Structure formats: structure tokens, C-alpha cells
Amino acid sequence: MVTVMGIDPSGSPRRPSGVAVLADKQAVYIGLARRDEEILDVAASYKPVAAAIDSPLSHAEGYRRVDIAMKKAGFPVLPPGWRGMRMLVERSLGLAAKLSSMGIVVIETHPRSALRASGCGSPEEAAEKMGVEVPRLRGLRRDAVDAVIAALVAQAYVEDRAAVIEDVDGRIYLLPRLCG
């Protein structure tokens, strides 16, 4: 059984983070968590092999070269050096270190860009094209939906089908072209 995880962390535990888990290409968990411990408990329960996090996983004063490559490819991202992003990056780096210590491969993603790269009109359509069963996502918080997209990226990563934008200072994984 292959299990993967998607995380859309908030910069602060005061706001919810989205968490999604796919096991054998089925959504088995979609929820919200506030504290890092809650996210780590989900990981400990499901034991994913890979987790995709919607956050820069490195510091920079402004834009990283990989962010500029994303922008050139038509995927707007925010730089990790912006004041509002620093707290998110710090939290995400801590989560990534703890997940890695659990034996989980951690990758960086940007769900909105990942969905755009897929050419699909919705996360449900992308999931269907990948053979992944997810429930109807309408009505869920954006954090949870972005976590599902991140989990789809993690699934594509373990299947060695993920698209990647990279430069000397990072890699951002996206969904492969699935639609259109």
C-alpha cells in the first residue's frame, strides 16, 4: 500500500492548516489542524512515504531563483523573504524536518500552480485522470482543498510522473499535464 500526504500549512497555529492523506489512490483523510503536533499525529497514524508541503522550503531575502523560474513558466508564487511569508517558511521547515526524521520524503509544491500545470479545471478532475478517488470537494475550506492537491502532487512524485520546476536553490513539484 502506498500512502502519501499533502499539507497546506498556515503561518500561525491560530489559523487552520489543511491536511490530506491518500492511501492506495483513495482519499482516506481530509481535515484541518492547528498545531504541528496534530499534523504529525496524522503522519504517524497513516505513515506516508512522501509529503508535499505548500510552502517554500528554504529562506531567501526576496525571490529565490526557483521562484523566478516558476514566474517565467506562468506560475505566480510569493517569495519566502516577504514578511508575511517568513513565519510560514519557518513553520514549514520545522514540519519538514520532523516529517523527514519519521522517514517521510518531503517535497515543496504550490497547489494552485500544480492544478494549472495539469490543465484540469478542478482537483476532482485531476484526481480522476490520475486514478485517485477523492470525495466532492465543493464546500471544503481552501486549505483542505489545497492539501488534497498537494497530496495528488505527492502521488505523482512517488509514481515518478510529477513535473518539476527547479534551479540551484530549490525544486517545486507540480502535477503532470493530465487534461486538455
CATH number at residue 56: 3.30.420.10
Choose among 58, 56, 5, 7: nearest CA to 35: 7
pLDDT value of position 1? 81
**179 is a domain residue:** no
For residues 137 and 98, give the distance between their C-alpha atoms in angstroms, rounded to a whole number. 29
The structural domain count of the chain equals 1
Residue 58's pLDDT is what?
A: 95
Q: According to the model, what pLDDT value does residue 81 have? A: 85
Write out residues in the chain with pLDDT < 70, as ranges.
none
Give the mean pLDDT of the chain. 96
C-alpha–C-alpha distance, residues 124 and 120, integer Å = 9
**In 74-150, where do the E strands start and end?**
105-109
pTM: 0.96
pLDDT at 84: 80
Asked if residue 90 is part of any domain, the answer here is yes
Asked whether residue 137 is domain-assigned, the answer is yes
75 lies in some domain: yes
CB 94, CB 7: distance < 8 Å: no
Residues spanned by the domain of 29 = 3-174
